[in-house]
Chain A
């Protein structure tokens, strides 16, 4: 193909004028609660997960405040154990897991592949309700005795000793799992069946590939979590004796079950972030993605190999040395595809036309923080080194670099990137940029410090700690305030735009994927007529009138 094309020729032109956009199409709360429009459902998910993020964030600030001094600062040991457990459980089950797929994914996948909606729109609404019910049951623990087991629910503490509302939280997580499974199913079928004419697999935006891989993991791994949590509930209620050694059970078995889901779940959390970063870097550099297929297939590779490394959470649990050795080796293998992605993103900057808009700033923050998160994971994958670092603050720092520095930062970057599309409003660039910078500084203050703490022998989940660690803990706590301010400013900037923001153009960043070829905000059917796709999501050289290279 050597003809030239401009952006307008990529798809069937779409004026968007005349038709009412999806936000104004239907008024009143009932029209939202009964909608089957993937965009509205995505928006409702978005509101829910951001709310969960705020709740989880408040718990995080409380935990950090308590750790300002080596003994009691503001709460009791029991209160502290509840605060950190709720922080973890809310952030994992109510925020990170659903965050990108259910909100941005729901909104974007159908538009990106040129469809009117997801494959099963009613099922999609049903998933949202399941999520809400599960979330409410989980949160009911707040008033019904809290929970103090850690988000990992290790037995026999959770099954026999803890007097808190363990059943509520696990039952809630169990129910939310169905939402996750059904959403994954919906996405996979949508991508298989509803791609617009000309939208071949390799023309799909990389976010779609990432969410495809994520959906696979959601479908395969989540049932295992469901069974595990159900068994835990039975163990607690009826002493069936599967996990509790006092009843003839095996507590290490629980850990195998739990991590068989929860390690792949790490990829449920990070793969969508990878997808967003691919979009942000390509669009804000207006550059053809370097190594499209490598990025696409590394997502799938991570999803598959990710199933075989759960035992790296259990090197000192009492599992056999041979098992530990195999899990360690596979852990190093799964590091390769993540590394490949980072190299490809960096290379995509080469020869680009880079503008440091807020989304791009967040993408760069991601690149640096995720790189640190990945490289510190290498320490923990090494068997001998993990003997020293396991269950210390080094681990806490490492996974926050991946989950917050990676996923949460990607989520915010994506939010800024697609906000004009979702709401039709432009936000204050200044607010966005300052929030990205505050997040970067605050995050490193909070969590880089914790690498020192962990290396020096500070265990995690400690209410009281040795006096010698106080200076580092205090510094980390101050960092959490800066980090909190950064995220808060980001959210405020977006909310303010709803009132004061300028009307967003259809394509504020000059992107080529389909979502930028329709109005902001889109009409309910997404496109006036089914788009016909003639080339890939990142063919910037073509759009710029350059000759196509082979």
Chain B
């Protein structure tokens, strides 16, 4: 039996998803032994294949299948199918998994102190601020995980030029055991960087316009392609993201505002995950003009939560000032500088935030 590097198995969740009918997933099985993964997943997909609706493409995703049939019915069918499939898997998958695991052996980490890092931290405030926002703790002592922001204020979220891709590739080769990751937040990760190399990495990134210190801040916006590219879009999302980022860069407030996930979609398909943004923006079309609807209180974290609509939409010209009122108002409302936007919202409820968005006419 495989141990998956320490994990005994899985909790299996099914039927979550965003899009036009956002739903939080439900637990299908609290414990699935690691070795039974493939027969069980195959059972899920084959039950869905037969039971999922083919008469209406908007009701065809598995979240609707689960919703319409109920999780118990799905569980009963999956378990029945799984019981049959399990006997057909005779261990080839586990052998394959062992071969695959050998490919993913951790690199050899050299655990030592990093004097260069501390020295450079003293002399460069820009580096300090970048370390504060863009570095995450690594499991090996002396190492760090670097998040490279593809959200320079005013640029298109998630875009990288060929020259930037080459710089990131070169840095991965020299300083990150030849590895890069792409995050769902549309940034690039150097997963294994020794802390003593961080100053060099930072300088190289800065030269390539890749050292924006904003991971997790309001300008680290997720935005779908929207009307600039997408055939399904009802509104633009990239320009809105660019305007918000530029505005907050100018206000020089985003580090003070702290953790805030802002997510923008250009239509109800929700590729920009606006339902789970602390602040979500959904671009719609009303009688030929763009209208941006704000949702508040969404969360993609462990306690997944869908945001609630704040009220009527804003026009393209009014959406950025509305977000500004909201965020500046939050600074006044928060209990202290450590209380994030989401925490304030959860503590105070929607009313004071709605009042910021829709001030009464004097």
Task: Say whether A associates with B.
Answer: no
